[in-house]
Structure 1
Amino acid sequence: MHRTDVIAIGELAARTGVAVSAIRFYEAKGLIASLRSSGGQRRFLRADIRRVSFILIAQQLGLSLEEIALELARLPAQRTPNAADWTRISTALRARIDARISALERTRELLDQCIGCGCLSLKKCGLYNVQDKAAQRGAGPRYLLGDRAGEIAEVR
């Protein structure tokens, strides 16, 4: 390994916009791994710039650290990930992203109706949830979670 293949923790932080403390946290969680110089200083592979960037993107998508670790484990450890490596991961994440987009679109469409009145799933809602029919499907804002008013049986 050449000296130019590794970078100091400060350079990794500068290149990714992540605090040094966050990089140490990611290392402690096993998301990235450092090498040690002869003086005991942390050194990271240049490929870790992409890994840290992926961590940031995955967190924006709502993935937990455990889920991020599973995805990163699918990448090669000894070389910079290539387009095919990233395609495998992005393909696996597409369904999750599509589901999140659908949920956000549904929320946008129903936001003024359901949350606007403030009742969510209370018996007092005479407009969207007469006699608290939505509660039959479970707790929380049922219509925002995807239930449709017509799908909920009448309360008898």
Structure 2
Amino acid sequence: MSAPTNKGLLTIGDVARRTGLAVSAIRYYDDEGLVSARRTPGGKRMFIRSDIRRLSFILIAQKMGFSLEEIRTQLKQLPLERTPTKRDWEKISRGFRTHLDERIAMLERLRDRLDGCIGCGCLSLVACKLYNPGDRMAESGTGPRLVVQTSNNGA
């Protein structure tokens, strides 16, 4: 029988079954402070039900390509000791929406610039839309500037 302070808490196995995450992943997220397990006198990790939502959010955010540090920043806005409200989640949603909009715009630039080259198959550097004569894009920074920059300067 659980101690009175553990009433309503879930074991790590219960949480793993509910989220589909491996127990080792849940331990890792706990060690990283993304969730906060309570400990029984014997050291067993116990979780509140809202941790299922936090872990599900982590899983979804990772599948969308967010780093653990980006996820941690967003989760800091949620309370650890109570179930987040709709308003709490809306706040996080606004932050993620900005990041998602930026990623969508970058993916669209990538798609729009690559389909010409991939579609024609000529592999001609003279005709390619991504051609960069005289390395003029080096002036605007490192990496694939025609894809990552937000304007068409120099393109």
TM-score tier by shorter-chain length is 0.7 to 0.9
Q: Deviations over 1:100-122 (max 9, x none)?
A: 111111111112345787x8xxx
Aligned to 1:8: 11
Instruction: Name the SS for the 2:10 alignment partner.
Output: strand
Structure 2: runs of 5 or more not aligned:
none
* CA distance in 1 between partners of 2:12 and 2:33 (Å): 15
Paired amino acid for 2:136: K
Instruction: Name the TM-score, length of structure 2 as normaliser.
Output: 0.80
Whether the 8 Å CA contact 1:75–1:85 is kept in 2: the answer is yes
Paired amino acid for 2:113: L
Instruction: Name the TM-score, length of structure 1 as normaliser.
Output: 0.79
Paired amino acid for 2:135: D
Query: Is residue 48 of structure 1 aligned with residue 79 of structure 2?
Result: no
Out of 134, 138, 152, the residue aligned to residue 154 of structure 2 is 152
Query: Is residue 84 of structure 1 aligned with residue 113 of structure 2?
Result: no
Out of 125, 129, 134, the residue aligned to residue 132 of structure 2 is 129
Query: Is residue 73 of structure 1 aligned with residue 76 of structure 2?
Result: yes
Whether the 8 Å CA contact 1:114–1:143 is kept in 2: the answer is no
- Percent identity of paired positions between Structure 1 and Structure 2: 48
Cα distance, 1:87 vs. partner?
Answer: 0.5
Paired amino acid for 1:90: S
Instruction: Name the SS for the 1:43 alignment partner.
Output: strand
Whether the 8 Å CA contact 2:6–2:46 is kept in 1: the answer is no
> Does the C-alpha gap of structure 1 residues 138 and 63 become closer, same or farther in structure 2, counting only changes over 3 Å?
same
Aligned to 1:94: 97
Let me know the Cα RMSD of the aligned residues.
Answer: 2.5
Query: Is residue 36 of structure 1 aligned with residue 39 of structure 2?
Result: yes
Out of 109, 113, 118, the residue aligned to residue 106 of structure 1 is 109
Paired amino acid for 2:69: E
* CA distance in 1 between partners of 2:126 and 2:69 (Å): 43
Q: Deviations over 1:64-87 (max 9, x none)?
A: 222222221211222111111100
* CA distance in 2 between partners of 1:58 and 1:130 (Å): 39
Paired amino acid for 1:100: R
Instruction: Name the SS for the 2:146 alignment partner.
Output: coil
